[in-house]
Structure 1
Amino acid sequence: MNTKHTIPSDEDLTAFIDGELTAEEAARIQTMVEEDESTAERLEFLARASLPFKQAFAPLLSEAPREKLETMLAAIPAQPSARPASPPAFATRRRFLGALAAALVAGIAIDRAVIGIGRGFSAKDENSEWRAIVADYISLFTRETLAGTVPAADVQAAQLGALDEKLGLSLSPEAVSLPGIDFKRALLLQYDGKPLAQIAYLDPETGPLALCIVRSDAGPKAPDVESRKGMNVVYWSNRTHAFMLIGRAPADRMTAIADGVRGRMPV
């Protein structure tokens, strides 16, 4: 079969980014990138998505039946590699994607496949791409992802404090608290070379919910609502930052929650 002009899959493009392909495979994809605009755009999109999937799902994977997963992964045929030695388990995104797929087969509830990054997101404004990537990330969360006790106030303050220097925004547990919804963790992620704060919650009614923040010089923007990955997103910005609240609660409830958060955010 002639694969010279076969459109590369997201997995192939991710492997190309990570340098895991043979010289022949890499050359084929390089040619496609140079000749096909849609392939080039897709490669750029995947290359800019640097959210730490491994870190986010480490607790979930630690609960998986490891022996069964290792047996299933061992049964996957090895791909030829241009490198003399294989990287350690979970050292690359493609290895981690394989582990997530095996975990799903083993019965661990993960809502979406990481590799299925959506192509058809809307472009309502110039900052829509970061919301698309965050939606891909949050769509993987289940109640089990955020299971456990609510961190104590001092732990919440410490996690939020770690965001201050990178984000330039002083956040307190009181400022980010959501009525009736449990705070679970605050993480510093990265998108397109810029710090991205993710504050994750667990809503007893609708499951995972997240408030995400990036620096932005696009200027103030009133709240707007959109749908991504079966979730509702309320997004807005002030002079220095862009915000998004994402979850599976109805749009009117998400809007009400976002209004409360906006009123407590530092200006």
Structure 2
Amino acid sequence: MNRKYTIPSDEDLTAFIDGELTPEEAARIDAIVNEDESVAERLEFLARASLPFEQAFAPLLAEAPRAKLQTMLAAIPVQQSARSDPTPTFASRRRFLGALAASLVAGIAVDRAVIAIGIRKGFSAKDENSEWRAVVADYISLYTAETLAGPVPGREDQAAQLGPLDEKLGLSLSPEAVSLPGIDFKRALLLQYDGKALAQVAYLDPETGPMALCIVRSDAGPKAPDLESRKGMNVVYWSNATHAFMLIGYAAADRMMAIAKGVREGAA
């Protein structure tokens, strides 16, 4: 399809959402949104998500190559807001995202980053179960093998990382319960989604790369395992009476289903 316009970047769409564009630029993007369904869907997704990026990735930025980042940030144009605030919220966010991108290119691991994932709108149980998987997939897609590099924690360290997850989610996750055959346990994180605790156990599959098991409380009721594709990864998801689970990774669908079967017997 030949378009007579340039698709807006996520940066442009976020500036549109935050009211940081000139009236002419805002009108241009509004016209594109009305004409292009894919742009409208992306705008809706960005409008729903409110991610405190700077707090979440503070450990990563602390280790970043500052001289290189400063050079890259200096090249990022910052549009002044018409509001009285001398440092617009989006300007700060734009500078931070530039630093984050540079850090990821440099291969710096995101270690023990705690991300609070907030959604501005309420959802029914069905929509919520789909939405949290979409948000998690966006986050996991940032992982590389280098992100999860390093030695495999010993059993005691694994148990110590899993402990806070047990307390917040009302589960009993032993290292044995979340062990995946032939796949290395790397770390367990306690995140937050829509005001609820979200457990993430990250793994590194020597064959296909990053993999993660994520769990949230859910009152949607039991659901048999199902399969979907998100961000180039396969997702197996299911739920019991109290929790929703998802296993996400780059392994083939049949292998993911087989791995998830073992997880269900151990952790669910």
The answer to whether the 8 Å contact 2:165/2:190 transfers is: yes
Residue pairs, 1:46-125, within 5 angstroms? 46-50=46-50, 61-81=61-81, 82-86=83-87, 93-103=93-103, 108=107
Distance in 2 separating the partners of 1:129 and 1:265: 22
CA deviation after TM superposition for structure 1 residue 192, in Å: 2.0
Distance in 2 separating the partners of 1:16 and 1:170: 44
The answer to whether the 8 Å contact 2:162/2:173 transfers is: yes
SS in 1 for 2:177: helix
Distance in 2 separating the partners of 1:74 and 1:199: 37
Match of 1:187 among 164, 186, 189: 189
SS in 2 for 1:145: coil
SS in 1 for 2:210: strand
Equivalence for 1:21: 20
Which amino acid is 1:21 matched to? E
The answer to whether the 8 Å contact 2:200/2:213 transfers is: yes
Which amino acid is 1:164 matched to? D
Q: CA RMSD in A?
A: 3.6
Where do 5+ consecutive residues of structure 1 fail to align?
1-5, 111-124
Residues 78-106 of structure 1: per-residue CA shift (max 9 Å, x gap): 21033544389x995433322233346x6
Residues 6-64 of structure 1: per-residue CA shift (max 9 Å, x gap): 997533454566x67379699979x99xx99x788756633543566556655655554
- Identity level (%): 76
Residue pairs, 1:134-149, within 5 angstroms? 134-149=136-151
Equivalence for 2:121: none
Distance in 2 separating the partners of 1:168 and 1:23: 49
Match of 1:132 among 119, 131, 134: 134
Question: How many residues matched?
Answer: 244
The answer to whether the 8 Å contact 1:49/1:191 transfers is: no
Which amino acid is 1:212 matched to? C
| Residues 49 and 108 of structure 1: CA distance in aligned 2, closer, same or farther (over 3 Å) | same
Match of 2:201 among 193, 199, 223: 199
Distance in 2 separating the partners of 1:84 and 1:237: 46
Equivalence for 1:239: 241
Distance in 1 separating the partners of 2:48 and 2:221: 23
Distance in 1 separating the partners of 2:164 and 2:25: 39
Question: Normalized against structure 2, the TM-score is what?
Answer: 0.74
Equivalence for 1:118: none
Query: After TM superposition, what 4+ stretches of structure 1 lie above 6 angstroms from structure 2?
Result: 22-29, 38-41
| Residues 192 and 94 of structure 1: CA distance in aligned 2, closer, same or farther (over 3 Å) | farther
| Residues 237 and 47 of structure 1: CA distance in aligned 2, closer, same or farther (over 3 Å) | same
CA deviation after TM superposition for structure 1 residue 236, in Å: 0.6
Where do 5+ consecutive residues of structure 2 fail to align?
1-5, 110-125
The answer to whether the 8 Å contact 2:217/2:242 transfers is: yes
Distance in 1 separating the partners of 2:182 and 2:10: 39
Would you say 1:265 and 2:267 are equivalent positions?
A: yes
CA deviation after TM superposition for structure 1 residue 162, in Å: 0.9
Which amino acid is 1:86 matched to? T
